Amino acid sequence: MKDKFLIACFARKGREMTGDSPRIAAMVLDALRKKGIEAGQFTITPVETYPDDHNELDAVVKTEISSHSRPEIVGKYSGMRHVEKIVLIVPNWRDALPPAVTTFLDQYDFNDKLIVPIVCHDGGGGKNIEGELRKFLPKTWIFPGKRSIQPILK
């Protein structure tokens, strides 16, 4: 049987190894392994590169979110049917999920799975993202947004 846990994090193309989401994903993966729990890992990376300039990035993100865009992402996670618990590590972009994360969520059946969102840079928007996940995935168990993985280790 494949991994029952999946650590999925968002990373802007070209920045897979830097930024808060991949750094937190590595810490979560390490914490799980120290508990003897194996987990798969998937980086949600958009095909198109986002601009490095903050103002340009904000304009692109604003347009994507307002148009409910689903940007293409690189690859798929092949073992999703075996996954029971997902730690989803995402930044808060304009009090919403990055649109590429929504593309990822569109690709799989998350019914009866458990998602623990960890929101980076939440600026108070973590609750909005949690609500967005609940609305988008009504048959999925969504834990309140965490900065800890303790709830899923039980």
**Whole-structure pTM value:** 0.86
pLDDT for position 129: 86
pLDDT for position 3: 59
Task: Please answer whether residues 32 and 23 qualify as being in contact, where contact means their C-beta atoms are separated by less than 8 angstroms.
Answer: no
Domains present along the chain, CATH in parentheses = 5-153 (3.40.50.360)
pLDDT along the chain (154 residues), means of 10: 81 67 86 90 91 90 94 93 92 89 95 90 70 91 67 51
Nearest 5 degrees, angle CA 73-CA 75-CA 78?
135
pLDDT for position 66: 94
pLDDT for position 26: 87
pLDDT for position 18: 59
The packing angle between helices 99-106 and 126-136, to 10°, is 30
